[in-house]
Structure 1
């Protein structure tokens, strides 16, 4: 496909997303099925265009002075890709399968729309849903800080790896992946970073010898830092209460040096399906997977009943809106609704109450979200402490990289793309008397 044809395809996919309010992966998959002539490089390039449009959806259309898929794509090419009007006009030639030529109005917007954008409301300049603006202001204090974080959250994310110290050292993995431009990440000692490629296509790692041998796992550095702040130690009884596919479970096993007892569970046993192969590959032998019968519900059978009140540490990687992962999932920001936030807040109180019943006297809960919203972070912790007076805020574990984030009440910490170069993670420790 020609570059112009790829642009036309991106417009088509964006129009489908907007008209049917559907997830971007679904729209891209359906487009590929109905256009089988498009090769893998074409599909990857079109997906990159679509996701860049979703990163700058509001600001691009505002600068162009109109809504719609075509305006969004044109504005994105200028804002995100840094193209000038001549370069964009070359893609919109109308020749072959390229989109029709730019109109006089579109050319005028490319010349003058950026001045208009500078006077736009905060949510337009920051490319986020307007209704979460008050929450972000509570979380970051002022408009300049919010915009700095939202602009960082609209950028492309690098690929971060966690070196599995049960099997390898960072130097070994760095050497194996040097051809990809691998470097040490700035904070976590076992984190390696691969730069985002210019075309937005992710690196393929599953065929690498190091991956097959279990030397490393893909995991954002912020997620690695959150696990390290838990302070899990060898010979402890540790529970990963929202283990999912097992990313933090594997990190905890390495921290515990395969000594002690690490139990991994989730409210939905289906989410645990990927953990078994990852455990085998990693060599983590201290992990017990406890799958619930169906979906766990409050008052139902507790797969961890035999260790109730015995855990030294309960890690709660809580269900949340995922606002801190918008670099990787820009589509998710436009599907977030107030009702969805309210549901996640309820889920967080349920899982924290469950964690309280599993923690021994003198033990700790470490509460983690991949969110930037105070409703899910400081305010969620405050609600829990009010209903569970036997718990108090506790300091996070000391680490070699300190606390390079936004300090929060009670010793909690907020990691963000702008401050730490990671996804947005909130981490708080709570000690039982």
Structure 2
């Protein structure tokens, strides 16, 4: 594709995302799947343009509203170009330049660009929510968490996330995985926090490489790996991954169990659980089974107090993953937060039934908001005084040790995560 053709495709994809309630990556995958003529390099360029707009969406919208222009996909792309330092003439020349280019600018669009000329993306008059690219109601919640470091953490949420891998110790050592990746020209370095993690220098298509196809590595953020480390699932244990989804943490738990013992991956979604089958086989996991949680299910009652470890990676706002999913911050509402905290409490109340005396309940979210994390744990302990929080041990770096595992992009280079280990009295 020509540069102008990629620009037009990016504008079309932005329009599709704006018109669809699904996550942007799902819309993008469908958009690109139906346009097989778009090659791999073109896809990366198109995605970079689209995701750059999504990361700056509130600021771009603020500017367009300020100059009285409609925030169309075309104008958002153009505004990003001009506010990023591209001249008005250069930006306009990309439109109408060839057969596959976006149509030429109309007079209203040209006037809008002229009003933006000489300005930059940020402006001192912007409200905090706009400047920090998040819903207004989230700002005080994150300010309570980060204080004077809020701006740095929000800046880290606005840049693309690295690509992290977890070495599958059932099939390879860390050193062997690094070597296997190097043979296919993928340079990986050990992560600083996870003992199983690798980080690639740039985002690359790992899934077509032999080390991934052979089950040597799995794609998993370093922070997510540390949740599995906190679970400390050992060989011979009975373990439940209560919100397993497609099985990412199930794979990590099976690895620490050395394929010995029994792990049950539970979820309310059959398609998500079905998606775990291929991953489990590729990783060589054979001590795991799946269980679909359904209304009226008697399984939990039959399994009461039979598990050594129960992991609840709860559904949450996902504020810690905004650098991967910038569109999610545009959809989040206070109602969503209230509904999610109620759901988290209900899930914890159900999952705790499975924990045997002396066993552990691991609660984790990819959120950085106290109502979903510390407040949720405090409320759980009031309802279930037979549990207590245990501190993170020597497996974690000194700056992370305490009652809770708290990870953030600026400080730790990971997604934002929260986790804690709750043990039931023996």
TM-score for the superposition, normalised by structure 2: 0.88
SS at match of 2:246: coil
Does structure 1 conserve the Cα–Cα contact (< 8 Å) formed by 2:242 and 2:313? yes
1:432 matched residue in structure 2: 424
Aligned mates of 2:160, 2:180 — CA distance in 1: 24
> Any residues of structure 2 matched to 1:248-259 within 5 Å, and which?
248-259=249-260
Change over 3 Å in CA distance of 1:368–1:36 after alignment to 2: closer
Aligned partners of 2:316 and 2:372 also within 8 Å: yes
Answer with 97-106 or 267-276: which moved more.
Answer: 97-106
Query: How far has the Cα of 1:224 moved from its partner?
Result: 0.3
Contact 1:92–1:99 (Cα < 8 Å) also in 2: no
Q: Is residue 68 from structure 1 mapped to residue 68 from structure 2 by the alignment?
A: no
**Per-residue deviation, 1:40:** 4.7
Equivalence map 1:140-219=2 (5 Å): 140=146, 142=147, 144-178=148-182, 179-197=185-203, 203-219=204-220
CA contact (8 A) 2:82 2:113 kept: no
With over 3 angstroms needed to count, the CA separation of the structure-2 counterparts of 1:122 and 1:429, relative to structure 1, is: same
Q: Deviations over 1:189-215 (max 9, x none)?
A: 111111334xxxxx2223322122211
3-state SS of 2:356 partner:
strand
Match of 2:397 among 402, 407, 425: 402
Provide the secondary structure at the position in 2 that maps to 1:103: helix
Aligned residues of 1:157 and 1:196 also touching (Cα < 8 A): no
Alpha carbon RMSD of aligned pairs, Å? 2.7
Bigger mean CA offset, 28-37 vs 364-373: 28-37
1:200 corresponding residue in structure 2: none
Moved more, 86-95 or 338-347: 86-95
Output the TM-score relative to the length of structure 1: 0.86
In the aligned structure 1, how far is the partner of 2:93 from the partner of 2:29?
A: 24
Change (3 A) 1:25 1:314: closer
**Could you list the per-position Cα deviations for residues 275-307 of structure 1 after superposition, in whole angstroms to 9, with x for gaps in the alignment?**
2222222222322x2423xx523xx22334443
CA contact (8 A) 1:93 1:99 kept: yes
- Cα 1:324–1:403 shift into 2, 3 Å: farther
User: Of 69, 82, 91, which aligns to 1:89?
Assistant: 91
Structure 2 CA distance for partners of 1:188 and 1:120, relative to 1, 3 Å: same
> Contact 1:63–1:113 at 8 Å: present in 2 too?
no
DSSP-derived class of the 1:363 partner: strand
